[in-house]
Structure 1
Amino acid sequence: MNALDPVNSHGCGGGCSCSGSADTAEPELPLMEAPFEARPDDWTPPHVNGVALCDEQEVLDAPALRQRACTELLRQAAIAKDLLPADDPAPHRGATSEAAADAIERLLDTALELPEPMDAAGRRHYAAHAGRYAIGEKVRARHVLFAVTPGVDVQQLRQRAEACLLDVRNTTPQEQAAGDRFAAAAKSTSNCPSGAQGGDLGWLTAQDCAPEFARELFGQAEVGVLPRLVHSRFGLHVVEVLERAAGTTPPYEQVRATVLATLRQQSFATALSQYLQLLAGQAQMHGVELEGAETPLVQ
């Protein structure tokens, strides 16, 4: 698997222009630049072993800096292992060379110990998460999208989304009878074209949604406004489940390959996180903190 592949599926579901495939990776929020402010005279760029992670004109949020730091740690580790020439150019605004991307993949192939999941572990995982593997399950939902766009203040965006979530969850029956507050919020606030229809996404299957969206909607019993924001690479979503149509849960033997692939992915994510923490502990780093962080490189 390619730890550096770009993400290309979307955050919401089939009734929206942001529909995507559930077969793609599970990213976190988009990594966007924060509003630019003038640098102080003594400003020093965040760096890993002296290699700058951004230039003076960039102001990145913490997730973006962590992603660049993780990539740079792996690039330098590939050089140390003679998998990449020492004169490989430093990334420009986060973009590595093609040779560096290939070398990082070869590095991970040798550095990460990934035990093959046993069938017993697969059965335990399936028993605990059988709803994730249901076939034919459908959900009718609507959402309000707070999009992350270049220059947006992510913290302010989150505060707006949380205020919207609190507002639509605390609607009294009398207020609901007087008007559909969720639909009004979607029409006035949502950055998704579905806002014109009150945020309605119609009936969705897991295949209609990006993984991070499907994970929150399917294999669960919740109906109503979800008590949490749903994260996608496009931003933050306030989501209401209007109806559910139960699917059928196939026997373990029928989905065994999918279950074991899920366990392999989890093993890869854990091993990569541990390896990056080891590299970070050996590096001279400034302006970025990785310890305990879930790296966005985990795909």
Structure 2
Amino acid sequence: MGCGCGGNGSGGGCAGGAAKEVPLDVQQAGVQAFEPVVSEASETEQEQEDEPASGPELIVTSEQEWPRIKVNGVALAQEAIAQELQYHPASTRQEAIFLASQALVLRELIQQRIAELDLKVDVAAGESEEEALTRTLLEREVPLPHADEAVCRQYFERNRQRYASAPLLAARHILLACAADDAEQRSELRDQAEALLAQLRVDGTRFAELALAHSSCPSKEQGGALGQISQGQTVPEFERQLFRLPLGLAGQPLESRYGFHVVWVDQRIEGQLLPFELVQGSIRAELDQRVWQVAVAQYLKNLVSMADIQGIVLDGAESPLMQ
């Protein structure tokens, strides 16, 4: 079993990670309720008599009921709502249908606005034509904000501790490997790790010897040395425990998805506060992104307020963003 720590004495540590562009938060436009669709005036009394009575057009408890929604006269296909449902997990089916319908209404409004402006685009690598058109529309109709230096510096001073270099650790470990779902073996390995700790409390010079004899990590060939480790280089559950440790032998085994780690911290270098000039660009990008997301939400509300939407009630903008 690979431990995933990446420790081999040349640097690194129990490697893991997680890490996408922020999606368009269409849900900020806000759903209030579904509403029944009033029958069209063009229907004759004879047609009403000939056609079977339709069910209610509200969302009800029956799983066979779907909203009947029109956006500026364009009906949303019930099949499309059913397909969109998978992208909107919710505590109830009705809430999920709400969210799926909302997303489709906003998507239709965007597509109608694109058609109205007769936008033409060059599709970039990795994006669909629809994505390219939506990007172009927002670039044209939602002003891109720019935080000035004064705003950036004020944010920097209020969040000083966020802008520091990551601390570094030099550590050794003995990995007693076990599958994450093997509860019985994990219990046994915890006891084994405690026994190793007891031996090391008596004689810490035996760490390399015990690592070679018991560790499942390739780092055992270097006495268990993981090299210098910075934040983000190890699996999260191991990192959270590791970076809280003082120098020396950890008082108890650290558990991760790979098993139990007996750890000795040899060196700890605390992170240093970074100067404003070094982080100004990232601060400006963060603030600009926040303001842009609010502006996009307001733009979507404006589209809603100017549209004829039947079958669902959405919050519209109190005043138009665009004239």
Which of 1 and 2 has greater Rg? Answer: 2
TM-score category (smaller protein) = 0.3 to 0.5
- How does the TM-score come out when normalised to structure 2? 0.41
- How does the TM-score come out when normalised to structure 1? 0.44
